[in-house]
Amino acid sequence: MAGVAGGNDFQWCFSQVKGAIDEDVAEADIISTVEFNYSGELLATGDKGGRVVIFQHEQESKNRPHLRGEYNVYSTFQSHEPEFDYLKSLEIEEKINKIRWLPQQNAAHFLLSTNDKTIKLWKISERDKRAEGYNLKYEDGRLIDPFRITSLRVPVLMPMDLMVEASPRRIFANAHTYHINSISVNSDHETYLSADDLRINLWHLEITDRSFNIVDIKPANMEELTEVITAAECHPHQCNVFVYSSSKGTIRLCDMRAAALCDRHSKFFEEPEDPSSRSFFSEIISSISDVKFSHSGRYMMTRDYLSVKVWDLNMENRPVETYQVHEYLRSKLCSLYENDCIFDKFECCWNGSDSAIMTGSYNNFFRMFDRNTRRDITLEASRESSKPRATLKPRKVSTGGKRKKDEISVDSLDFNKKILHTAWHPKENVIAVAATNNLYIFQDKIN
Amino acid sequence: MFSKGAKRKLDEDEEVLEGKTLEASAAGGGFGLGHEGLSKVSYTLQRQTIFNISLMKLYSQRPLNEPSLERRVLINNMLRRIQDELKQEGSLRPLLLPPSPPPDDPMDEGFREAPPTFGVLSAAVTAQVSPPSALLMPMIIPPPSPHPSVPPACPPPLDVCLTPASLLEDDSADSSFCTSSPPTPPLSPPPLQSQTSAAISPPPASSSDVSDMALRPSTAINRTAAANSMTVTTSLTPTTLTHASHLTASSPASLGPAKDCRTSGSKTEAACVSLAEGCCAELRPMDALPAVAPVAPLDLYPSHSPHSTPSGFLTDLALDDVLFADIDTSMYDFDPCVTAGVVSVSAGTSLTKMSPVVTADDLLKSLTAPYSSPTPQVSANQPFKIDLTELDHIMEVLVGS
């Protein structure tokens, strides 16, 4: 695959934007997760209102050959409702924290969605026919007296408008005391894990009343708590391996074959702290907000507040690559701490061939890094450039000194506009970027 | 964050202010390795600011949803770190720690005169503390945060910093610190708090605390001493002095009590109290510097016996009181959500607002009492105007603004 940025080979251009244009953003409409399915045909988003919206890739139309087809709404359903925890007198938000697709096994699609406490397995299936010609019921639904039925009639399937149904198949509840931050489907296609701040549970997709607690870092005395689990993911190929990251910037790799309880890790990835950049905020900015295995399973990528790191699973003492996402914020950490932005959880993703990575930033900027050329680019998700096929102009933030034309100064960045969630099509150069309540879809320009 | 969009302008203003501080600290070389004076000052200042912000964050949560554990842990670690640093610096400790007496050793003259285990005070004089920060504090802390209802929080004494940890307890019944917390008063903070209330105004309502503190006769003694010093407001009586020296002397021993406090899990009240008393505790060391500096550090040693104290020390105390009063008024003015005359104390308001459950009677009393009667502070302020401007000047020179 070609480079992300810049080469001459291709550029990113606008494809679509979803969501209201209003300046007024309803809290419930804020997108809280974005996820392509394994084929890239479907794209799911979850929002703070507990809804899941699934977009489907439409085939290329003949009259617009330059576009690779668009994503259109396929199904929308309410996945989670707000609840109230009467024991704690606290509300349980309906916000969808994560969505994970299951590998497709048949015509239907399955996905897991979770809020802070409860995970649900949804089946999304199509229906475009219905059975007609029963002689067992009257039209109003009353059963016909069997004695009056004299002949055998076989119902026939009649075509009807396509209907997409989403039905909850399993509800995995009551297993998490803390907030669920990750779910990850295992490569055995039968199990998945769910992680909250202090524990990781392993589930069977068919069994809802039981899960296995495989990691528990809760200290006996909560006053001694200094570290929490921030993310966890299963290895894409080895079903016994998973990793989890912590608020101290470390990643632990565990092997479920070693023991049923994985409190003791097999590998421990940590980069020694650079004493020259030490500050009050060192720990906070080193907290890992997302961890993702590469498709190959050889690498994993972690996102902390200021950077993205790529780790080779065979080297624990430092990452093989480190990319600065918005280093210019280092001098602003105090303000970012004060306004809580420093706790924002940016996610990251790989492209289909693991040659490039993408993650978000503030001011509706998102960043891509080409691992081969080491080139990086900053792009902006904005309505201003949202004409079909409009090429995205690289953006630049001026870091001190004179601001050049076309540059934006650090001080004028809008910290309310942040891109936390992005997704990369597993096979093509199509990306989905969640900017508050809008979902932007970009693709590379075909020359 | 979106809900806070409206406050954008304010935020920017404050960023400017903050920027200055940060620049200053950067210039100084961060951890105080560079320029002795300036860097140390700005570093302490920054630390103080962060400390204040952290406390505000921990105690000003909207308890509607369960707050993020990660955020709480990180903030808590931040507080712990700063606290460890302060401990290591040592010099600050005696002045910062509330004068909690050793558990089985009721405070008395004999104890006070006990020789110190280390040269805390001399260290303090050697520029460990920054004078400007005390003065700057009110200007920097104010109405910055996205939590408008939260007023400038002052740093609490060290052991109070530990209390947030107890708030993390989630599995237990009182999972959210905001809603739960039986009115268990912290073990050690009260003494200091008594000073606070005393210093600000006649110490009226905190009596409830006293009763709670029955374990410690010494507390009561101390309290009265402080109260005396304040009822006489402007005059620097020996009592004040005693009180101060007691502060220093007791500190080495106060480690134990500090631990107690931690395990006892002092809750919300501790926080509120800490906000108030933090001012007091923090200011003392800070402003002590300019005035004390001329006095040879060693002279301070004898001051363990109250009678041999050099006059320089007396002046400090006077300044303390002034600054203290001054800052307090500023807190008063700054709080945006004060409907005139109502409890202006930041912590008080925010906490009571957020979770009515917490409003244990004594908490309210102890908080409202000192602040709802601002008059004494004002009067206390008058005689020291000159000193204040002097300090201002010194600070200007130091900061170079």
Report pLDDT for A136.
81
Please give, rounded to a whole number of angstroms, the shortest distance from the CA of B42 to a CA of chain A.
Answer: 13
CA separation for the pair A255, A203 (Å, rounded): 16
User: To which residue do tokens 């999304």 refer?
Assistant: A124
CB contact under 8 A, A283 and B78: yes
Closest residue, chain B, to A335 (C-alpha): B15
Written as six digits, the tokens of B315 are 């002046």
Residues found in chain B: 401
**φ, ψ (nearest 5 deg) of residue A377:** -145, 145
Residue B375 pLDDT exceeds 70: no
Least confident of A249-263, A363-377, B87-101, B372-386: B372-386
Report pLDDT for B396.
63
CB contact under 8 A, B70 and A25: no
Written as six digits, the tokens of A218 are 């809760």
Please give, rounded to a whole number of angstroms, the shortest distance from the CA of A47 to a CA of chain B.
Answer: 15
Least confident of A157-161, A363-367, B67-71, B87-91: B87-91
Closest residue, chain B, to A286 (C-alpha): B74
Report pLDDT digits (tens) over B272-318: 333 334 333 333 334 333 333 333 333 333 333 344 333 333 334 33
Please give, rounded to a whole number of angstroms, the shortest distance from the CA of A91 to a CA of chain B.
Answer: 5
Q: What residues contact residue B108 under an 8 Å CB cut-off, 6+ apart? A: B218
Please give, rounded to a whole number of angstroms, the shortest distance from the CA of B217 to a CA of chain A.
Answer: 29
Are A201 and A193 in contact by the 8 Å Cβ rule? The answer is yes
CB contact under 8 A, B2 and A198: no
**φ, ψ (nearest 5 deg) of residue B92:** -75, -25
Report pLDDT for B357.
38
CA–CA–CA angle A359, A360, A362 (5° rounding): 155
Mean pLDDT for the stretch of residues A119-146: 87
Mean pLDDT for the stretch of residues B18-41: 45
CA separation for the pair A440, A191 (Å, rounded): 32
Residue A110 pLDDT exceeds 60: yes
Residue A120 pLDDT exceeds 60: yes
Nearest to B73 among A227, A280, A281 (CB): A227
Please give, rounded to a whole number of angstroms, the shortest distance from the CA of A41 to a CA of chain B.
Answer: 32
**In this predicted model, which residue has the larger pLDDT, A334 or B59?**
A334
Closest CA relative to residue A440, chosen from A69, A61, A51, A71: A71
Which of B3, B4, B66 to probe by mutation at the A interface, max A CB count within 10 Å? B66
Closest residue, chain B, to A30 (C-alpha): B2
Please give, rounded to a whole number of angstroms, the shortest distance from the CA of A146 to a CA of chain B.
Answer: 56
Nearest to B73 among A247, A332, A335 (CB): A247
Report pLDDT for B394.
59
Question: A380 vs A46, A344, A431, A435, A439, CA distance in Å?
Answer: 22, 18, 13, 10, 13
Hey, which of A311-320, B27-36, B152-161 has the most confident mean pLDDT?
A: A311-320
CB contact under 8 A, A228 and B77: no
Which of A27, A222, A287 to probe by mutation at the B interface, max B CB count within 10 Å? A222
CB-side neighbour CA atoms (13 Å) of A282: 12
Nearest to A341 among B1, B65, B66 (CB): B1
Report pLDDT digits (tens) over A346-402: 999 999 999 999 999 999 999 999 999 999 999 999 888 777 778 888 999 987 777
Mean pLDDT for the stretch of residues A173-186: 95
Please state the domain extents for chain B: 44-89
Contacts of B4 in chain A (CB under 8 A): 339, 416
Report pLDDT for A441.
94
Hey, which of A122-131, B107-116, B348-357 has the most confident mean pLDDT?
A: A122-131
Nearest to B146 among A85, A224, A339 (CB): A339
Contacts of A25 in chain B (CB under 8 A): 2
CB contact under 8 A, A280 and B71: no
Domains and CATH numbers, chain A: 12-444 (2.130.10.10)
Share of chain B above pLDDT 90, in %: 4
CA separation for the pair A384, A363 (Å, rounded): 14
Question: B234 vs A379, B229, B279, B287, B315, CA distance in Å?
Answer: 63, 8, 19, 17, 11
Question: Mean pLDDT score of chain B, rounded to an integer?
Answer: 46
Report pLDDT for B388.
56
Are B366 and B206 in contact by the 8 Å Cβ rule? The answer is yes
**Which helix (H) or strand (E) segment is B156 a member of?**
none
Residue B142 pLDDT exceeds 60: no
Closest residue, chain B, to A223 (C-alpha): B165
CA–CA–CA angle A112, A116, A122 (5° rounding): 20
Residue A140 pLDDT exceeds 70: yes
Residue A16 pLDDT exceeds 60: yes
Contacts of B14 in chain A (CB under 8 A): 335, 338
Nearest to A226 among B8, B73, B170 (CB): B73
**Which helix (H) or strand (E) segment is A326 a member of?**
none
**In this predicted model, which residue has the larger pLDDT, B382 or A67?**
A67
Residue A11 pLDDT exceeds 90: no
**In this predicted model, which residue has the larger pLDDT, A195 or B239?**
A195
Report pLDDT for B62.
62
- Assign A429 a pLDDT band (cuts: 50, 70, 90): very high
Contacts of A226 in chain B (CB under 8 A): 73, 76-77, 80
Closest residue, chain A, to B57 (C-alpha): A338
Contacts of A338 in chain B (CB under 8 A): 14, 18, 53, 144-146
Report pLDDT for A335.
92
Please give, rounded to a whole number of angstroms, the shortest distance from the CA of B291 to a CA of chain A.
Answer: 30
Report pLDDT for B91.
54
Nearest to B176 among A90, A331, A332 (CB): A90
Buried b (16+ CB within 10 A) or exposed e, A120-148: bbbebeeeeeeeeeeeeeeeeeeeeeeee
Least confident of B83-92, B148-157, B387-396: B148-157
CB contact under 8 A, B146 and A88: no
pTM above 0.80, yes or no: no
Contacts of B78 in chain A (CB under 8 A): 280-281, 283-284
CB contact under 8 A, B145 and A198: no
Report pLDDT digits (tens) over A207-239: 999 999 999 999 999 999 999 999 999 999 999
Mean pLDDT for the stretch of residues A261-274: 93
Are A89 and A35 in contact by the 8 Å Cβ rule? The answer is no
Report pLDDT for A143.
85
CB contact under 8 A, A340 and B1: yes
Report pLDDT digits (tens) over A47-80: 999 999 999 998 766 665 555 678 999 999 999 9
- Assign A298 a pLDDT band (cuts: 50, 70, 90): very high
Nearest to A247 among B18, B65, B70 (CB): B70
Nearest to B68 among A92, A179, A418 (CB): A179
Please give, rounded to a whole number of angstroms, the shortest distance from the CA of B69 to a CA of chain A.
Answer: 7
**Which helix (H) or strand (E) segment is A170 a member of?**
strand A156-172
Report pLDDT digits (tens) over A302-317: 999 999 999 999 999 9
Written as six digits, the tokens of A250 are 């470390």
Nearest to A339 among B11, B73, B165 (CB): B11
Report pLDDT for A138.
80
Share of chain B above pLDDT 70, in %: 12
Which of B74, B145, B176 to probe by mutation at the A interface, max A CB count within 10 Å? B74
CB burial of residue A85 (10 Å; 0-12, 13-18, 19+): middle
Residue B101 pLDDT exceeds 80: no
Report pLDDT digits (tens) over B194-212: 343 333 344 443 334 433 4
